[in-house]
Amino acid sequence: MSRRMLSRIGSGLTVVALATTTVACTKKSDNTDAETGGREPAQVKVALVPGGSHPYFQPWKDAGAKAKTELALGDVTFNETAGWDQTKQNDVLKSLAAQGYNAFGVFGVSPDNINSTFEDLKRQGFPVGSLASCPAGANKADFCLSTDVEVAAYKGAKAAIDAIGGQGNLVHLTGNKVDSNTQRRIAGVEKAVAETGGKVTLIQSVTDIDKDLQSAQRAVADLLAAKGRQIQAIVNTAYNPAVASAEGVRQSKLPIKVVAIDDDPTVLDGLRGGSVAATILQNPVGQAQVGSYALMKLSGGCTMAEAGVTIDSGSFVVTKDNLDGYEADRTAATEALRKKFDGDLLKCS
């Protein structure tokens, strides 16, 4: 018999064998969800996994280390190797699970399909918190602890409108356009502008410039060159554009009021120097600390009173006047969040 014939017969037999096996087999019980709970704090190993490397998440490192000490957890690790790729992030999470991490605080790369990843982790009995961003649609994690981005964007736009005396042209700089959270940020800014009854015009929402500082700097330089003299205020709802516009406006010396987001040193210097009118601070430390606390409680047997509940981790308008006291406000907000988990959100028998 020729080799050709043999290989054909071999392939045919393989297909038949596979088909027969598939038909004749029965599937084990579908209920593969493992039990969560019953772990002592020392047995809880928390993994804090952002979508990739970004300055916003850097406070998670120290906050996680602090949570480990204060809560006497088995371990808290911070892994930012996902590289803004959902597939890689899934892989990172599986690897961390293989190393014994059993509670996950995750900033999903793609809000539109992170729920599949959450379901995957929960099937294996791991408590999961969606931190700093909520999935699009119903949240499949145990809870979502994140800035209410629409509210934060609204506050930022209001601050910008106030800074220009309630009249003029506004530009909004933000992140990935196809991210559902960006759409909510745009809605927040549009809402604040609509409330002015036409006195303020949103002349442009520039999206997709939060990938890195260089692309944000280029976009700001182009914007100022093209429309610098028409713009009275810039409101930022993403980290890199905030830094780039604070720098760009200061260097161009244009009379534009910048409202930034977060507390990069450039932004804080701008606030002190007057080139930045205000910044909207989020609470990454609270997300990591309270997120780790909630994950520990869930590991110990508590459940969420409402599965998948969304909790606003807080956003604060900071101007030159309250620049020195904002950290105390943030600490107080973090403590209040923890009490909220103990009082209302968690059910512990």
Partner 1 sequence: MKTETAPEAPAVPPAADPRPPARVLPVWANPRLGLLIVIAALVVLFSSLTPAFLDPRLTLAPLQADISVYVVVGLAQLAVLSLGHMNMAVGRMAALSTFAMGLAYDRLGVPLLVGLLLGLAVGAGIGALAGLLIAKTGVNSFVVTLALDFGLLGLVTILYTWATGGVSFAVQPSGLAALRFDTFADYCMGEVCGPRIPLVVPIAVAAALGVGLLFRHARLGREILMTGSNTVAAELSGIPTHRRVVTAHALSGLLAALAGFLLAANNGAFSANIGESFLLPSFLAPVLGGTLLAGGAVSVLGTALGATLTQVIYKGLNLLQFSLEELKLYIGLVLLAALSLDRLRAVLAERRAVSPS
In the bound state with partner 1, the residue whose beta carbon lies nearer, of 113 and 214, is: 113
Residue from 94, 191, 211, 320 touching partner 1 (CB under 8 A): that is 94
325 binds partner 1 (CB under 8 A): no
Compose the 111-150 pattern: x for residues touching partner 1 by CB under 8 A, - for all others.
-xx--xx-xx--xx-----------xx-------------
Q: In angstroms, how far is the first alpha carbon of the chain from the final one?
A: 72
What backbone torsions phi and psi does residue 282 show, to the nearest 5 degrees? -105, -170
83 binds partner 1 (CB under 8 A): yes
By the 8 A CB rule, do 311 and 344 touch?
Answer: no
Paired tokens of 167: 């009249």
Measured distance CA(262)–CA(211) in Å, rounded: 16
Residue from 43, 55, 75, 77 touching partner 1 (CB under 8 A): that is 77
21 binds partner 1 (CB under 8 A): yes
Measured distance CA(279)–CA(304) in Å, rounded: 33
Measured distance CA(174)–CA(315) in Å, rounded: 17
Closest approach of Cβ 159 to partner 1, in Å? 29
81 binds partner 1 (CB under 8 A): yes
17 binds partner 1 (CB under 8 A): no
- Dihedral, CA atoms, 177, 182, 187, 189, nearest 10 degrees? -100
- Specify the stretch interacting with partner 1 by CB under 8 A; choose among 10-18, 54-62, 258-266, 288-296: 10-18
| Strand positions, DSSP E, 33-142 | 45-49, 75-78, 103-106, 128-131
Measured distance CA(145)–CA(36) in Å, rounded: 20
26 binds partner 1 (CB under 8 A): yes
In the bound state with partner 1, the residue whose beta carbon lies nearer, of 43 and 79, is: 79
- CA quadruple 136, 307, 313, 129: dihedral positive or negative? negative
100 binds partner 1 (CB under 8 A): yes
Binding interface with partner 1 (CB under 8 A): 4, 7, 10-11, 14, 18, 21-22, 24-28, 32, 53, 77, 79-81, 83, 85-88, 90-92, 94-95, 97-100, 110, 112-113, 116-117, 119-120, 123-124, 136-137, 178-180
